[in-house]
């Protein structure tokens, strides 16, 4: 990106819910932000943005990756600070969805923008060309729509909508910035009402509401049917409406109603009477304390239109319909749902049919290709598959004929015929050559923008080829491979094949073998998982037979092997780099702590959580923290490592996992030298580059420390006093006390004199001894069994 395209500072205009959270996500990316809103005349001119910034620290899910990042957001007001817009390279307008208000604001800010500054409106559906018409002519090439989805930190989709005069190079630069710097998945949308995701998503909700009434189903039953059971988020339909805000939903519906009077589905574009009544009453959803659902004490209640009141929520599914939803053959599933007489089955067929029908008819108008619709619904609404993907998986031609029959029978929500291309013999809309464009009448390839070269394994759609690299070695536990573009195979990549990438004896052996092979034939090794978490920890299931047999000598050997593996990673002759996305818990955290570097996606959740199953970290995690504390203490006047051990003890004893990769750095699981990457699909690219940079610098592992100063008995006693107070106050159980006391002993180097100097082998032996002693207790065994049975921790 050339100098004039480098975005150094951003202004966000509007400190409402979306504006403040967009500002927060800019701060997550270490970009300073000016957050503007109306000035107040009572002596606190920045009261509105100040309140918004303070509120960011209280919201859940947290908009900020770290509360301290709020310091990157500076409050401003339109009365005093408009000249400061000259400091900004990008201005994002996020005020109320009214064209007149936006036009008036544009007139005020235009004189203060630099010649290269881009202006983007975070509108959810207003015409970008109409908004552009209110701008001075010189600014129009640098104006576009940029629609973030709520909450901006977590929802990957951003729709980028050009106006007629938007300069292509400006749009490319902004897409590049949004992708790499902000970690977003960009869909370029047409300037049509509600763009792509909201156009399809809101229609899907309206169709669901229509068929809810048609088949006489309760809102809670519909949410059970339209959630994970069909590959949609847990919030499903009506809970999603509450989260979005019923007034916001009604506004988006009205946009469709006002701007598409001749649409074949125009009769569906209306706010149901019951929804309008809730809005009139101020029951706007989650933000107002209740809407379709409300919480009374610990009970969730749902609106029942038949009763005219709220009742306790329940979700009773017909057993036969539930069985149909579990069928693996999608074609059989849809055929049998359509034929089944139960209202729940008829409802499910109807909502899929109408969305398929709608997307096929409107593809030409609302999207460049079918890829944009499927990706938008995945990234913006959390669907596991886009509508065209689901249609293809169920059998394209068979479903098309069923839709056509329903249209002729008057069962569909519109009589519009399916386009001719639907029946051209195709089996879907996505192929290796690209995705179908109804407008162009051909398949269009993926974007060739340079930024996408950084994504080795982007999201693939059904019908596209899934590149998996070139295998070097593979067995049931691990795969060692390299990317297809790495002709010299300089960087080997190691992936675990176990469920949730957990580490058992077979994975331990695979890691050891892979390091040896990488040292012999490659310049570096990256540990990365192509799908799912980085590593959810030790494979407890693999330990269960030994535990049931009481073979603690064999268990001790397994733990010793894990420790040797960790040390092998740390002292490998080539750099070993962890490329982390998602969970890195327990043993997974210990793996990355021993790597030469860590490259982690922002949404990485890292922690030593073994106390949750009644154990302590024993794969070198406690040892590594003791080593780091000793090293840090050498820089202090009293050379005492306890000040560094105390906060780590609290983190581990409470089984605290980080809430982001940045949080993992503050907790000590990642180091300052480790890198946080905004886009998860760029993690592998940057990890490979990091590994090669280390190799190019004549990498050598650090020499093993021979004299590690430990806190010993005094440190254990100080930490134990804290535990005694917590136990006596009823905050922890007796077994919690025992486990936490073992954590304290491991971190402090065992029952030795304070200030004793030990080596890593000593610390590892202390870890292992304490781990096995806890493993022998009934309560720890009960915790392990409960975790295996339920996936949840047991407090006993």
Write down all domains in the chain, each with its CATH number in brackets. 3-188 (3.40.50.720), 197-444 (1.10.1040.50), 470-780 (3.90.226.10)
What does DSSP say about strands 90-93 and 73-77: parallel, antiparallel, or unpaired?
Answer: unpaired
> Range with the lowest mean pLDDT among 57-61, 116-120, 690-694?
57-61
The residues pairing with 35 across neighbouring beta strands, listed in sequence order, are 12, 75
Separation between Cα atoms, residue 747 and residue 764, nearest integer Å = 10
What is the per-residue pLDDT for 5? 62
- For residue 671, give both structure tokens: 């180091």
Per DSSP, the residues of 463-530 read: TS-----EEEEE-SSEEEEE-TT-TT--EEEEEE-SGGG-B-HHHHHHHHHHHHHHHHH-SEEEE--S
What confidence tens digit (pLDDT) does each residue in 288-300 have? Answer: 999 999 999 989 9
Q: Which residue has the tokens 């077979």?
A: 506
CA 452 vs CA 271, 459, 678, 681, 682: distances in Å = 40, 11, 14, 9, 9
Separation between Cα atoms, residue 125 and residue 123, nearest integer Å = 6
What is the per-residue pLDDT for 532? 82
**pLDDT higher than threshold 60 for residue 1:** no
What confidence tens digit (pLDDT) does each residue in 610-666 have? Answer: 999 999 999 999 999 999 999 999 999 999 999 999 999 999 999 999 999 999 999
How far is CA 15 from its chain centroid? 24
Q: Show the beta-strand stretches assigned E in 30-184.
A: 33-37, 73-77, 90-93, 118-121, 143-148, 157-162
Beta carbons within 10 angstroms of residue 608's beta carbon: 32
Instruction: Report, as an integer, the average pLDDT of 352-370.
Output: 98
The residues pairing with 474 across neighbouring beta strands, listed in sequence order, are 479
**pLDDT higher than threshold 90 for residue 544:** yes
**Quick one: which of 340, 310, 158, 296 has its CA closest to 238?**
310
Q: What percent of the chain stands above pLDDT 70?
A: 99
**Quick one: which of 9, 40, 65, 10 has its CA closest to 661?**
65
Separation between Cα atoms, residue 477 and residue 498, nearest integer Å = 6
Whether the CB-CB separation of 787 and 544 falls below 8 Å is answered with: no
Whether the CB-CB separation of 578 and 599 falls below 8 Å is answered with: yes
How far is CA 375 from its chain centroid? 15
What does DSSP say about strands 299-304 and 309-312: parallel, antiparallel, or unpaired?
Answer: antiparallel
**Vertex 442: Cα angle to 366 and 369 (nearest 5):** 25
Whether the CB-CB separation of 691 and 525 falls below 8 Å is answered with: yes
Per DSSP, the residues of 63-76 read: SSSSGGGGGGEEEE
**pLDDT higher than threshold 60 for residue 404:** yes
What confidence tens digit (pLDDT) does each residue in 737-789 have? Answer: 999 999 999 999 999 999 999 999 999 999 999 999 999 999 999 999 999 99
Q: Rg of the chain's alpha carbons, rounded to an integer?
A: 29
Indicate the pLDDT class of residue 528, thresholds 50, 70 and 90.
Answer: very high
What is the per-residue pLDDT for 729? 92
| DSSP label at residue 574 | S
Beta carbons within 10 angstroms of residue 223's beta carbon: 27
Separation between Cα atoms, residue 50 and residue 66, nearest integer Å = 18
What does DSSP say about strands 470-474 and 478-482: parallel, antiparallel, or unpaired?
Answer: antiparallel
| DSSP label at residue 45 | T
Q: Alpha helices, DSSP H only, in 245-313? A: 246-259, 273-280
Indicate the pLDDT class of residue 348, thresholds 50, 70 and 90.
Answer: very high
Separation between Cα atoms, residue 126 and residue 107, nearest integer Å = 18
CA 45 vs CA 12, 15, 50, 84, 676: distances in Å = 17, 13, 10, 16, 36
Separation between Cα atoms, residue 212 and residue 15, nearest integer Å = 36
Helix (H) or strand (E) holding 272: none
**Taking all residues of the chain, what is their mean pLDDT, rounded to a whole number?**
96
Beta carbons within 10 angstroms of residue 431's beta carbon: 15
What is the per-residue pLDDT for 3? 37
278: helix, coil or strand? Answer: helix
What confidence tens digit (pLDDT) does each residue in 324-341 have? Answer: 999 999 999 999 999 999
Helix (H) or strand (E) holding 619: none
- For residue 528, give both structure tokens: 């990365």
């Amino acid at each position: 990106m050339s100098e004039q395209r480098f975005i150094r500072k951003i202004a966000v205009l509007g400190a409402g819910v979306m504006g403040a959270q967009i500002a927060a996500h800019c701060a997550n990316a270490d970009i300073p932000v000016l957050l503007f809103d109306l000035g107040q005349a009572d002596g606190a001119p920045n009261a509105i943005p100040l309140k918004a910034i303070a509120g960011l620290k209280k919201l859940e899910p947290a908009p900020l990756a770290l509360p301290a990042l709020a310091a990157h957001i500076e409050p401003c007001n339109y009365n005093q600070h408009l000249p400061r817009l000259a400091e900004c390279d990008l201005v994002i307008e996020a005020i109320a969805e009214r064209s007149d208000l936006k036009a008036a604001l544009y007139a005020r800010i235009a004189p203060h923008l630099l010649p290269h500054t881009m202006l983007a409106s975070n509108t959810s559906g207003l015409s970008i060309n109409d908004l552009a018409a209110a701008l001075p002519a010189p600014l129009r090439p640098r104006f576009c729509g940029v629609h973030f989805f709520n909450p901006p930190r977590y929802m990957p989709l951003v729709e980028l909508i050009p106006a007629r005069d938007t300069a292509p190079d400006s749009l490319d630069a902004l897409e590049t910035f949004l992708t790499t710097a902000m970690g977003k998945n960009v869909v370029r949308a047409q300037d049509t009402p509600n763009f792509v995701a909201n156009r399809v998503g809101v229609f899907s909700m309206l169709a669901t509401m229509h068929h809810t009434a048609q088949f006489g189903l309760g809102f809670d039953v519909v949410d059970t049917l339209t959630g994970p059971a069909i590959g949609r988020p847990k919030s499903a339909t009506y809970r999603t409406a509450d989260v979005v805000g019923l007034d916001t939903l009604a506004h988006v519906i009205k946009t469709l109603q006002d701007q598409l009077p001749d649409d074949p589905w125009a009769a569906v574009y209306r706010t149901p009477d019951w929804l309008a009544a809730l809005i009139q009453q101020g029951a706007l959803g989650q933000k107002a304390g209740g809407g379709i659902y409300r919480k009374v004490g610990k009970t969730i209640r749902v609106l029942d239109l038949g009763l005219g009141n709220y009742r306790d929520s329940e979700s009773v599914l017909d057993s036969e319909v539930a069985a149909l939803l579990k069928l693996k053959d999608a074609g059989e599933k849809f055929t049998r749902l359509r034929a089944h007489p139960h209202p729940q089955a008829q409802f499910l067929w109807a909502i899929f049919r109408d969305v398929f029908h709608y997307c096929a008819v409107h593809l030409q108008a609302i999207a460049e290709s079918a890829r944009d619709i499927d990706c938008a619904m995945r990234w913006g609404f959390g669907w596991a598959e886009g509508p065209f993907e689901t249609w293809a998986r169920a059998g394209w031609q068979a479903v098309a004929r069923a839709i056509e029959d329903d249209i002729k029978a008057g069962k569909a929500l519109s009589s519009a015929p399916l386009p001719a291309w639907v029946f051209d013999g195709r089996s879907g809309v996505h192929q290796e050559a690209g995705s179908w464009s109804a407008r162009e009448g051909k398949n269009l390839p993926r974007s060739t923008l340079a930024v996408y070269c950084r994504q080795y394994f982007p999201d693939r759609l059904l019908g596209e080829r899934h590149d998996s690299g070139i295998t070097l070695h593979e067995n049931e536990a691990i795969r060692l491979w390299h990317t297809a573009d790495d002709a010299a195979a300089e960087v080997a990549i190691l992936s675990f094949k176990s469920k949730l990438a957990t580490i058992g004896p077979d994975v331990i052996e695979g890691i050891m073998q892979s390091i040896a092979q990488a040292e012999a034939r490659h310049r570096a090794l990256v540990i990365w998982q192509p799908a799912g978490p980085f590593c959810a920890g030790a494979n407890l299931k693999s330990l269960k037979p030994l535990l049931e047999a009481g073979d603690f000598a064999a268990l001790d050997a397994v733990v010793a092997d894990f420790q040797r593996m960790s040390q092998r990673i740390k002292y490998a002759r080539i750099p070993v780099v962890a490329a982390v996305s998602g969970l890195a818990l327990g043993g997974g955290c210990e793996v990355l702590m021993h790597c030469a570097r860590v490259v982690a996606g922002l949404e990485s959740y890292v922690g030593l959580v073994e106390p949750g199953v009644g154990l302590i970290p024993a794969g070198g995690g406690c040892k590594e923290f003791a080593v780091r504390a000793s090293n840090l203490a050498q820089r202090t006047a009293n050379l005492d490592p306890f000040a560094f051990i105390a906060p780590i003890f609290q983190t581990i004893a409470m089984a605290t996992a980080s809430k982001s990769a940045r949080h993992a750095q503050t907790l000590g699981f990642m180091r300052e030298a480790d890198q946080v990457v905004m886009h998860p699909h760029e993690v592998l690219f940057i990890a490979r580059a990091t590994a090669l940079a280390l190799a190019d610098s004549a990498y050598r592992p650090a020499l093993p420390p021979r004299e590690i100063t430990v806190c010993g008995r005094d440190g254990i006693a100080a930490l134990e006093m804290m535990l005694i107070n917590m136990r006596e106050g009823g905050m922890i159980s007796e077994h919690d006390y025992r486990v936490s006391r073992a954590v304290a002993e491991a971190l402090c180097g065992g029952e030795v004199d304070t200030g004793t100097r030990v080596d890593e082998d000593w610390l590892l032996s202390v870890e292992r001894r304490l781990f096995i002693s806890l493993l022998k207790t009934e309560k720890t065994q009960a915790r392990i069994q409960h975790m295996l049975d339920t996936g949840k921790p047991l407090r006993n």
